[in-house]
Amino acid sequence: MVGTVYPQGAISIDSETARLIGLNGNIREFFLLEGQHNELKQRDVITLKPNDERGPSRPTPTYLQVTLIEKVLVSDLYGEEEKQYRLRQLESALGRELADEDFVKRVEFVARIRRMARDFPAFLERFIYNDQCVMLD
């Protein structure tokens, strides 16, 4: 079952994470500031613009289906060995400094919709029309 399908630009994630998602199938999460995109729910689909680095042979957008959204304390995110480096990356992605007592939203996703769209183009054509969000049952 699919939730709300958000068109390109409706749900913003940082550009570096979006770029890496398009290039690397191993990226399975991104972070949002607490209170950011509260409309996002489990099973929703986020549409990312096509990744230009893949060239003209990959013009289709990337579709991410949300599998989990959880509120996480910054101090619980990383082990001591990786904390400084990863925290700097996260702060850069979110555009602000974070303290150990701050909360962020961790969003996990699967990128399986792209495969479905390629194999069954009508699947998404029925739900994305003129960049409008559509609720699905």
Give per-residue pLDDT as tens, 43-79.
Answer: 999 988 776 555 555 567 788 899 999 999 999 998 8
Residues of the chain with pLDDT under 70: 22-25, 51-59, 112-137
CB 27 within 8 A of CB 20: yes
CB 111 within 8 A of CB 21: yes
Domains of the chain: which residue ranges?
5-125
What share of the chain has pLDDT > 70, as a percent?
71
HSE at residue 45, side-chain half, CA atoms within 13 A, is 24
Tokens of 89: 């990356």
Phi, psi at 6, each rounded to 5°: -95, 130
CB 133 within 8 A of CB 7: yes
Give the pLDDT of residue 28: 87
On whether the pTM is more than 0.95, the answer is no
